[in-house]
């Protein structure tokens, strides 16, 4: 029987059902398909630790007989660091929406800002949902730049919700990196708006209320 290896999923494209594993202590990427998992339970996510055997399919080396690595004292295979990261971003999204609502109520921002925020978040969620459906049907995809644009414009809380609820783009590391950059850029813009440097822009917003 061939030797088993242990590694971590460093990229996972859930909509297409495949990704790549990095073997412990090695930078080599090993292809893995959803059909190569020994037991069909939950679907893989980024940073899952797995064990596998090396095999060959269609002339390419790939992981076979893949199983989630057992975690002593835990009933979940989801890494603790990822749990904390997800909780942090979820907390940040909740805080952002709460601050926006309070700012409108106390008069720091106009009421139509809430309408804008609701609209851009609805657009963001539906853009993710449409792209997810297109991926499943191998149809024309929504450009990632458009998803990032909606996030940058303030739709990032709904974007985060869509990623988790639809399991879309949550396992693609390059997308996640860009998503976090757009969120930080948006938040920097909000901080600027409420600073003395953004007073003119804030006054313009209030005049249009």
The pLDDT tens digits of the residues spanning 50-68 come to: 999 998 888 888 999 999 8
State the CATH number of the domain containing residue 41. 2.40.50.140
How high does pLDDT run on average in the chain? 84
Q: Residue 48 sits in which domain range?
A: 4-68
Scanning the chain, the segments in alpha helix (DSSP H) are 80-105, 112-137, 144-150, 156-166, 173-193, 199-207
Question: Is the pLDDT assigned to residue 74 strictly greater than 50?
Answer: no
Whether residue 85 sits in one domain with residue 41: no
Number of other CB atoms surrounding residue 17 within 10 Å = 14
Q: pLDDT class for 115, splitting at 50, 70, 90?
A: very high
Total number of domains constituting the chain:
2
Question: Is the pLDDT assigned to residue 4 strictly greater than 80?
Answer: yes
- pLDDT of 182 reads 97
Whether residue 121 sits in one domain with residue 31: no
Mean pLDDT computed over 62-84: 61
């Amino acid at each position: 029987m061939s030797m088993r290896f242990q590694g971590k999923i460093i990229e996972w494209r859930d909509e297409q059902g495949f990704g790549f594993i990095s073997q412990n202590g090695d930078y080599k990427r090993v292809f893995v398909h959803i059909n190569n998992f020994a037991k069909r339970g939950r679907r893989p996510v980024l940073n899952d630790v797995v064990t596998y055997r090396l095999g060959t399919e269609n002339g390419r080396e790939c992981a076979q007989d893949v199983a989630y690595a057992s975690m002593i004292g835990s009933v979940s295979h989801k890494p603790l660091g990822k749990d904390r990261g997800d909780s942090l971003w979820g907390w940040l999204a909740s805080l952002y929406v709460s601050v926006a609502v309070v700012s409108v109520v106390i008069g720091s921002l106009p009421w139509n800002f809430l309408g804008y925020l609701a609209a851009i978040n609805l657009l963001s969620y539906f853009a993710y949902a449409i792209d997810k459906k297109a991926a499943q049907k191998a149809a024309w995809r929504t450009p990632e730049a458009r998803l990032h644009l909606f996030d940058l414009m303030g739709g990032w809380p709904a974007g985060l919700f869509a990623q988790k609820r639809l399991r879309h783009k949550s396992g693609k590391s390059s997308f996640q990196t860009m998503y976090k950059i757009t969120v930080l850029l948006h938040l920097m813009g909000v901080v600027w708006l409420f600073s003395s440097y953004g007073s003119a822009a804030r006054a313009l917003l209030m005049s249009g209320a």
